[in-house]
């Protein structure tokens, strides 16, 4: 821990940039959007299943767009890419505040939230931190990833209060103001040292981009790394999207469960720190083989325990996995592929991650409609995590890229 505090003291300004971006990405994350869902369903007279379909469509569209723009962080200035992303996120949250006029506005706002929030802000933050830091990459990524946990701990309280007092429209508009305030602050921040000097002047054609992405997909490393990231996002999003449906089916107390969610955020916060230290000490490749196991184990008490303590155990175990994942998923790409084209490579992996967040709620929602019991859903997700963990063991045969 001493090393982490020393690193933070020397690099507070730089790593805070990554932290703020993951913090603000909360506005496009499922956990925050889910707070609007009951009011949106009521406003448009939708069913849970139909809204899940709308959400899936918006997320899939955003993942495709992400693939075509994610590479810009490799050859455009960090400040310019970040500014456009923040502006897009602010416009999307503002549009959500007027979505009650027509469902088309709702769909457009959801596309923007998923693209700019969960997709691009996370992508920019973790790509820049991983590229800028080599020896201390784990520490930088862990501190940047703390923004996720802080967002989960802070934003739901504020957004829920605003929705209860003034409605979801006002809550969304206030969110856009928060984003605009940081966009103004960004104007005065020097980020030139984050730019990829080797390729900042290059303009990548779609042919070159397609060729690069095709080469990544055909490489065996892709089929070793991608399934773990996909499965984690699929599982976490599916569970958190329907968490209050599950709580209701179990007959558990919703307010008590909401209190337990704070324990999840705290666990994720702590494990984000330790994950970074462990990456620098043991390498991301070693942690990558085992980081899904805690969440897999947590699904068992969640599925089979009658008391709400089962939910607490799941949230604690899930916090361990998601905390470590915030560092490991990006660090392993840098170790295996290098950092020269990390933005392009990571955009491909991020696209599949975002795609999984669309498929998770959609598929689990369909299984719920077909009458699959709760324990059956959890066992299905457990099976996916086990298979992904077994596949991840193949990374032992993949060599690390030696950086100068």
* pLDDT 10s digits, 111-150: 999 999 988 999 999 889 888 887 788 888 888 988 988 8
Alpha-carbon distance of 264 to 318, in angstroms, equals 7
* DSSP structural state of residue 358: H
Give the pLDDT mean for 159-169: 89
Q: What is the DSSP annotation of 23-67?
A: HHGGGGSHHHHTTTHHHHHHHHT--HHHHHHHHHHHHHHHHHHHH
Give the pLDDT mean for 91-120: 93
Query: What per-residue confidence (pLDDT) applies to 201?
Result: 44
Query: What per-residue confidence (pLDDT) applies to 204?
Result: 55
pLDDT at 270 over 80: yes
Alpha-carbon distance of 147 to 125, in angstroms, equals 10
Q: What count of other Cβ atoms lies within 10 Å of the Cβ of residue 251?
A: 8
Alpha-carbon distance of 14 to 11, in angstroms, equals 6
Query: What per-residue confidence (pLDDT) applies to 118?
Result: 86
In tens, the pLDDT along 388-397 reads 999 999 998 8
- What number does CATH give the domain 14-187+217-395? 1.20.1250.20
Angle of helix 293-304 relative to helix 220-241, nearest 10 degrees?
A: 30
Average pLDDT, rounded, for the chain:
86
Model confidence band, residue 404 (pLDDT cutoffs 50, 70, 90): very low
Q: Pick the closest to residue 358 from 88, 111, 76 (CA basis).
A: 111
- pTM comes to 0.81
Query: What per-residue confidence (pLDDT) applies to 111?
Result: 95
Question: Which tokens is 363 given?
Answer: 């598929």
Q: What is the distance of C-alpha 2 from the center of its chain?
A: 28
In tens, the pLDDT along 186-236 reads 999 988 888 865 454 455 555 666 666 777 778 888 889 999 999 999 999
């Amino acid at each position: 821990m001493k090393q982490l505090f020393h690193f933070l003291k020397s690099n507070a300004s730089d790593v805070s940039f990554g932290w703020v971006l993951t913090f603000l990405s909360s506005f496009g994350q499922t956990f925050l959007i889910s707070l609007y869902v009951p009011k949106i369903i009521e406003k448009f007279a939708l069913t849970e299943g139909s809204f899940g379909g709308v959400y899936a469509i918006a997320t899939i569209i955003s993942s495709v767009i992400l693939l075509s723009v994610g590479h810009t962080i490799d050859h455009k200035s960090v400040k310019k890419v970040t500014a456009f992303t923040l502006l897009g996120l602010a416009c999307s949250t503002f549009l959500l505040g007027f979505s009650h006029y027509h469902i088309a506005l709702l769909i457009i706002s959801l596309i923007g939230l998923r693209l700019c929030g969960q997709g691009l802000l996370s992508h920019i933050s973790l790509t820049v931190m991983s590229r800028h830091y080599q020896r201390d990459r784990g520490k930088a990524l862990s501190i940047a990833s703390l923004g996720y946990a802080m967002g989960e701990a802070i934003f739901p309280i504020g957004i829920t209060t605003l929705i209860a007092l003034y409605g979801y429209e006002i809550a969304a508009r206030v969110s856009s103001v928060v984003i605009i305030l940081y966009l103004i602050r960004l104007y005065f921040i020097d980020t030139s040292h984050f730019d990829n000097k080797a390729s900042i002047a290059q303009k990548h054609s779609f042919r070159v981009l397609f060729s690069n992405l095709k080469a990544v997909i055909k490489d065996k490393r892709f089929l070793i790394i991608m399934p773990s990231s996909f499965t984690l996002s699929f599982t976490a999003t599916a569970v958190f999207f329907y968490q209050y449906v599950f709580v209701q089916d179990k007959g558990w107390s919703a307010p008590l469960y909401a209190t337990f969610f704070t324990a999840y955020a705290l666990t994720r916060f702590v494990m984000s720190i330790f994950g970074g230290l462990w990456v620098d000490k043991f390498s991301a490749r070693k942690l990558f083989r085992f980081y899904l196991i805690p969440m897999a184990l947590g699904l068992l008490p969640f599925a089979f325990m009658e008391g709400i303590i089962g939910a607490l155990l799941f949230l604690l175990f899930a916090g361990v996995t998601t905390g470590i994942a915030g560092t490991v998923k990006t660090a392993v790409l840098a170790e295996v592929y290098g950092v020269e084209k990390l933005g392009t490579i990571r955009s491909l992996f991020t696209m599949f991650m975002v795609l999984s967040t669309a498929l998770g709620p959609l598929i689990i929602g369909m299984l719920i409609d077909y009458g699959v019991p709760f324990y059956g859903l959890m066992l299905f997700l457990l099976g996916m995590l086990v298979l992904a963990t077994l596949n991840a063991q193949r990374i032992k045969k993949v060599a690390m890229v030696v950086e100068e």
